[in-house]
Amino acid sequence: MQLQDILYSQGFGTRRVCAGLIQQGFVQVYEPNNPLAPVKCAQAATEFDAVGLRFQVQGVDWPYAERAYLMLHKPAGTECSQKPSTYPSIYTLLPAPLRQRPQKGAVQGVQAIGRLDQDTTGLLLLTDDGKFIHRMSSPRHHVPKVYEVTVKHPLTPAQVSQLLAGVVLDDDPKPVRAAACEAVSDHHLRLTLTEGKYHQVKRMLAAVSNRVEGLHRSQIGGLVLTEDLKPGQWRWLTAEDLALIQA
């Protein structure tokens, strides 16, 4: 695969722009026999095996990824929208190549899988793999999501039992149940859901006469948001991470 095509596929601009980056000496490639010192490549048409390739563009390291899979620690005061109405978009937290990866559809770059409200923090997955988005978003997939909920009023055993048994929301007569529910402290509830209705956590707590004061998603499937990934930071998902999500 030509180097200019590799850069294009990773979101570094049109093929002409990518060729220009290479010709101006802004691109270095890590060779398999020397993985510590990248070598400058000034020929846009130079062929490389893309799989496993690592390279630098303007001093920043990048791995080749046929499809991008990311996790982001969403901070408060951000919207999961390409066209936010009030708060900054989560997409501004990502480098330009991830937002520009070419797609067949009208929307380019990685997309969030599901949404978190502007005041909700925590684990958010993003990808440019449409099939993966569909599979993860499908109600039939039932990927458990764990939320750390700060509530206004002290929790009672009856409220926890009610959430596990099921509560009725105003738009659906069918009860909605928590897959797991634990009162960590008087005002801290750990809630696990396998479906994603609009404002579901807030509405479920309202149904048991309590109120959400803070909401943080700590886990999706077996993938836990660790403390080393600070609010606003992102990282690539590994094969092991993906296996944890889909297990």
- In this structure, is the dihedral angle defined by the CA atoms of residues 200, 197, 159 and 175, taken in order, positive or negative? positive
Full-model pTM? 0.93
Per-residue pLDDT in tens (0 to 9) along the chain, 247 residues: 999 999 999 999 999 999 999 999 999 999 888 888 999 999 999 999 999 999 999 999 999 999 999 999 999 999 999 999 999 999 999 999 999 999 887 789 999 998 999 999 999 999 999 999 988 887 777 899 999 999 999 999 999 999 999 999 987 788 999 999 999 999 999 999 998 888 899 999 999 999 999 999 999 999 999 999 999 999 999 999 999 998 6
Residues with catalytic function: 117
Residue 205: φ, ψ to 5°? -70, -35
Using CA atoms, how far residue 127 sits from 69, 109, 110, 205, in Å, is: 5, 8, 5, 31
